[in-house]
Chain A
C-alpha cells in the first residue's frame, strides 16, 4: 500500500489567497432561487389579469398602499445604516437602526393585514372568489411570508445587539441579513408595480 500524500508539496511561497465570504455567496444563491419562485407567481398574476369570470376586479377593490410602501422602503435604508454603523464600530447606532428596521417592517405588515381584512370583510374577496383573489393572495401572501421571516431574523439580531452581543466580527453576518432584507424590498417594488399599478 502506497503512503498517502496529503498536502501536495509544491513550491509556491505565500501566494495571496483570498476567497469570498461564504455567507454572501450562500445568500446570493438563495436569492437566485427565491427570485425564480417569485417570477412564477408574478407571471401567474399577470397571465390571469382580467381573466376572472366574476368580480370583484382589482380596480374595484385595491388601493395604493402608499404608507406601507414608504415604510418598507425606508426600512431598507435603516438596515443599511445599521450595517455601516457596525462597520464604524458604533454599536448604539447599530442597535437603534435595527430597532427602526423592525418597527418599519412591522408597520408594513400591519398595512397588509389591514388591507386583507378590508378585502375579506368588506369586499368579500377570498382566495376562492375568482382568479384575481387566487393570484393576489398567493403573490402578496408569499411576499408577506418573506417579510415575516426577515423580521424574525432582524428582531433576533436586534435582541443580540441590545444585549451587547453584536461585535464587529459579526459584520459579515449582519451584512448578509441586510442583503436578504434588501431583496425582500426589491420584490415589493415589483409586486407594487404589478399588482397595484399595472393591475389596476
Chain B
C-alpha cells in the first residue's frame, strides 16, 4: 500500500514531457482505454458541431447559411465521424478499460496489439479530417468527402467524385476497420483466456458477455466493410469496375456490401450500451439481474439474427416480393430477443429498492427511448410502410432515437457510474441531474418532432426547402432541441473536468456494487489486482460483504 502511494507521488513531480511520452508509448489497457475515450469524446464534439450546423441550416425555409456543397460535406462527415470515430472508439474504450478489471485479469491478452489498434484507429480519424486540407487543395475550406456515410455507387466513381476526398473517406474507414478488428480480437481472447480463477463462463458478468457478442459481430461485419473499401479503392486508383455501372458493374452490389456491414454495425454500437445498462440497473435496484441466462441467450440471438436483415435498408431497390418478404420477417424476428431484454430489465427494477442516482436516471431514459426506437424500427421493417418513408426524416428520427436516445444515454450513465473508479472522484450529482433533464428535454424536442416532417414527406439530406411545405415549424422545434442538447453536453463536459479537480473522494466502491472492478483501488494500480482474485459466484463482492449469505450457496 505504501509503496503504491510513493510511486504515485513521484509520478506527479515528473516532467510533462515524460508523462506525455509515457502515455504515447503505453500498453496498459486502462490508459489505452482512456485514450480511446478521450479521442472519441473529441470526435463526439466535432460531430456534434457538424450536427448543429446542419440543423441551423434547416431551421428556416430558403436558408443560405451554408452552401449546398458545404452542407453535403457536413452530413457526410457527421455520419462517418459519429459511427466510426465517436461511437466505436468510445465503446471500445470502455471495453478496454473494464473487461480485464471485471474478469480479474491484469491486462489484455495482447497489450502491444492493443496499442497498435488504438493508434491505427486514431490515425484513421485524423486522416478523415486531413481530407479538409489534402483533398484537392486548401482553397474553399478544403474538400471533405461529400458522398454520404454509405457512399452509394456510382456517386463515388471518379466521374462523380473527382479529386481525392472519397479516397480519404475509404482509406480512413479501412484503417479504423483494422483497428476495430484488432481490438475485438483482443477482447475475445482476453475474455476467453484471461479469466481469474473460478470465473466460469456462467459466472462471467454480463458486460464481458456482451462485448464477446459485439466482437463476434465486428469480425463478420467489419471484414466485409474492409473488403468493400478495397474494391472501391481499386476502382478509383487502378480503374477496376466493381461498382462502375458503365462497364456492367453494379451499384446494388455496393448497397449489399455496405449494409452487410451497416446493419450489424448498429448492433455493434448498441450491444455495449445494453452492457452498461446490465451493470448499472441491478446495482441501483439492489437486486441481482433478473434472468441472466436469458439475457446471454438473447444477446447471442440478436447477434446472429442481425446478420440476416441487412436488406431492410434496401426495400426500395426492387428486390422482388420473395426477397422483401424474407427481410421483413428476419427484421421482425429481432424484436423477440430484444423484447426479452427489455422485459428482464423491467423485472430487475420491479420491486427493487431503486435509487435515482444519475447513472440510473440515464438508464431509465435509455430503457424507454430504446423501446420507442425499436417500435419505429418494426414499423420501418414493414415493406409497404417503408416504401412511403424510406429516405425520409422518419428514418433519421428512428435511428437517432437509438443512437442518441439509447446508446448515448446509456453511455452517459456509464460515465457517471465508472468515473469514480477511473479518477477516484465522484461526479457532481446536481450538475449531473441538470445534464440529464436538459438532455431529456432536448432529445425529445429534437427527435420526437423529427418524425413528423418525415411523415409529411421531407426527404433526408435535403439542402433547403420552400416555405409552403408545412415543414418549417417542426424543423424550428427540432433545431431548438438540438441547441438544448448541446447545452446539456457542455454541462457534462464541465462536470467531467471540474469533478476531477474538486469532486468528492469516491473510495474503492462508492455504489456498493458487486463486480470485480470495484474490488481494487480507485484509480486502479497498473497491475489492477495485487493478488489475483478467485470467484465463486456472479457477484463476488456480494459474497465478500455478506459471508453469512453468499451467492455461491445458491448456484
Contact (Cβ within 8 A) A5 B248: no
- B164 located at the interface, meaning its Cβ lies under 8 Å from any Cβ of chain A in the complex: no
Q: C-beta contact mask, B92-127 vs A, less than 8 Å → 1, else 0? A: 000000000000000001100000000000000000
- On chain B, the residues within 8 Å of A12 by CB distance are 197-198, 534, 536
Contact (Cβ within 8 A) B220 A8: no
- B383 located at the interface, meaning its Cβ lies under 8 Å from any Cβ of chain A in the complex: no
With A2-B507, A8-B540 in contact, do A25 and B188 touch (Cβ < 8 Å)?
A: yes
Contact (Cβ within 8 A) B195 A19: yes
The one of A3, A6, A20, A128 that contacts B240, using a Cβ cutoff of 8 Å? A128
With A44-B231, A53-B248 in contact, do A2 and B509 touch (Cβ < 8 Å)?
A: yes
With A6-B520, A8-B519 in contact, do A40 and B223 touch (Cβ < 8 Å)?
A: yes
Contact (Cβ within 8 A) A36 B534: no
- On chain A, the residues within 8 Å of B392 by CB distance are none
Q: For B219, B253, B257, B532, which residue has the most chain A Cβ atoms within 10 angstroms?
A: B219
- Measured in the bound complex, the distance between the Cα atoms of B535 and A12 in whole Å is 8
**Residue of A at shortest CB range from B228?**
A40
Contact (Cβ within 8 A) B533 A37: no
- A41 located at the interface, meaning its Cβ lies under 8 Å from any Cβ of chain B in the complex: yes
Contact (Cβ within 8 A) B240 A134: yes
Contact (Cβ within 8 A) B220 A36: yes
**Residue of B at shortest CB range from A4?**
B521
Q: C-beta contact mask, B381-399 vs A, less than 8 Å → 1, else 0? A: 0000000000000000000
- Measured in the bound complex, the distance between the Cα atoms of B505 and A1 in whole Å is 8
Q: How large is the interface on B (under 10, 10 to 19, 20 to 34, 35 or more residues)?
A: 35 or more
- Measured in the bound complex, the distance between the Cα atoms of B185 and A26 in whole Å is 6
- On chain A, the residues within 8 Å of B540 by CB distance are 8, 10
- B508 located at the interface, meaning its Cβ lies under 8 Å from any Cβ of chain A in the complex: yes
- B222 located at the interface, meaning its Cβ lies under 8 Å from any Cβ of chain A in the complex: yes
Scan residues 237-280 of chain B and give those whose CB is less than 8 A from a CB of chain A: 238-242, 247-250, 253, 257, 260
- On chain B, the residues within 8 Å of A41 by CB distance are 227, 231
Q: How far is the CB of A142 from chain B (nearest CB, A)?
A: 8
- B531 located at the interface, meaning its Cβ lies under 8 Å from any Cβ of chain A in the complex: yes
Contact (Cβ within 8 A) A127 B534: no
The one of A4, A29, A34, A47 that contacts B184, using a Cβ cutoff of 8 Å? A29
- On chain A, the residues within 8 Å of B519 by CB distance are 4-8
Contact (Cβ within 8 A) B234 A19: no
Q: C-beta contact mask, A6-30 vs B, less than 8 Å → 1, else 0? A: 1111101001010111100110011
Contact (Cβ within 8 A) A32 B248: no
Q: C-beta contact mask, A34-76 vs B, less than 8 Å → 1, else 0? A: 1111011100100110011100000000000000000000000
- A130 located at the interface, meaning its Cβ lies under 8 Å from any Cβ of chain B in the complex: yes
**Residue of A at shortest CB range from B234?**
A138
Contact (Cβ within 8 A) B226 A29: no
- B543 located at the interface, meaning its Cβ lies under 8 Å from any Cβ of chain A in the complex: yes
- Measured in the bound complex, the distance between the Cα atoms of B281 and A156 in whole Å is 51
Contact (Cβ within 8 A) A138 B509: no
- B297 located at the interface, meaning its Cβ lies under 8 Å from any Cβ of chain A in the complex: no
Q: How far is the CB of A90 from chain B (nearest CB, A)?
A: 29
- On chain B, the residues within 8 Å of A198 by CB distance are none
- A163 located at the interface, meaning its Cβ lies under 8 Å from any Cβ of chain B in the complex: no
**Residue of A at shortest CB range from B519?**
A5
- B511 located at the interface, meaning its Cβ lies under 8 Å from any Cβ of chain A in the complex: no
The one of A33, A39, A44, A48 that contacts B248, using a Cβ cutoff of 8 Å? A48
- B456 located at the interface, meaning its Cβ lies under 8 Å from any Cβ of chain A in the complex: no
Q: How far is the CB of B354 from chain A (nearest CB, A)?
A: 24
- Measured in the bound complex, the distance between the Cα atoms of B198 and A9 in whole Å is 12
- A79 located at the interface, meaning its Cβ lies under 8 Å from any Cβ of chain B in the complex: no
Contact (Cβ within 8 A) A6 B533: yes
- A184 located at the interface, meaning its Cβ lies under 8 Å from any Cβ of chain B in the complex: no
Q: How far is the CB of A180 from chain B (nearest CB, A)?
A: 13
With A6-B531, A128-B238 in contact, do A25 and B193 touch (Cβ < 8 Å)?
A: yes
Q: C-beta contact mask, B505-547 vs A, less than 8 Å → 1, else 0? A: 1011100000010011100000001111111100011011000
Contact (Cβ within 8 A) B231 A130: no
- On chain B, the residues within 8 Å of A9 by CB distance are 534, 544
**Residue of A at shortest CB range from B224?**
A40
**Residue of A at shortest CB range from B522?**
A4
- A104 located at the interface, meaning its Cβ lies under 8 Å from any Cβ of chain B in the complex: no
**Residue of A at shortest CB range from B195?**
A19
The one of B186, B231, B249, B533 that contacts A7, using a Cβ cutoff of 8 Å? B533
- On chain B, the residues within 8 Å of A128 by CB distance are 238-241
Contact (Cβ within 8 A) A130 B223: no
- On chain A, the residues within 8 Å of B521 by CB distance are 4, 6
With A2-B508, A8-B541 in contact, do A131 and B247 touch (Cβ < 8 Å)?
A: yes
- On chain B, the residues within 8 Å of A5 by CB distance are 508, 519, 541, 544
Contact (Cβ within 8 A) B219 A33: yes
Q: C-beta contact mask, B159-193 vs A, less than 8 Å → 1, else 0? A: 00000000000000000000001001110110011
- B194 located at the interface, meaning its Cβ lies under 8 Å from any Cβ of chain A in the complex: yes
- B230 located at the interface, meaning its Cβ lies under 8 Å from any Cβ of chain A in the complex: yes
- B552 located at the interface, meaning its Cβ lies under 8 Å from any Cβ of chain A in the complex: yes
The one of A1, A4, A35, A131 that contacts B520, using a Cβ cutoff of 8 Å? A4
| 7 extra A-B contacts, CB within 8 A, seeds A6-B533, A9-B544, A40-B260 | A7-B531, A7-B534, A8-B516, A8-B543, A25-B192, A134-B234, A134-B240
- Sorted from nearest, which 6 A-B pairs have the closest CB atoms? A7-B531, A36-B223, A40-B227, A128-B239, A33-B219, A134-B240
What are 26 A-B contacts with C-beta separation under 8 Å? A2-B507, A5-B541, A6-B529, A7-B530, A8-B516, A8-B535, A8-B541, A9-B544, A10-B536, A15-B197, A15-B198, A22-B110, A22-B193, A25-B193, A29-B185, A29-B189, A30-B185, A36-B222, A37-B223, A39-B224, A40-B257, A40-B260, A44-B242, A134-B241, A134-B249, A138-B240
Residues of B in contact with A (beta carbons under 8 Å apart): 109-110, 181, 184-186, 188-189, 192-195, 197-198, 215-216, 218-224, 226-228, 230-231, 234, 238-242, 247-250, 253, 257, 260, 505, 507-509, 516, 519-521, 529-536, 540-541, 543-544, 550, 552
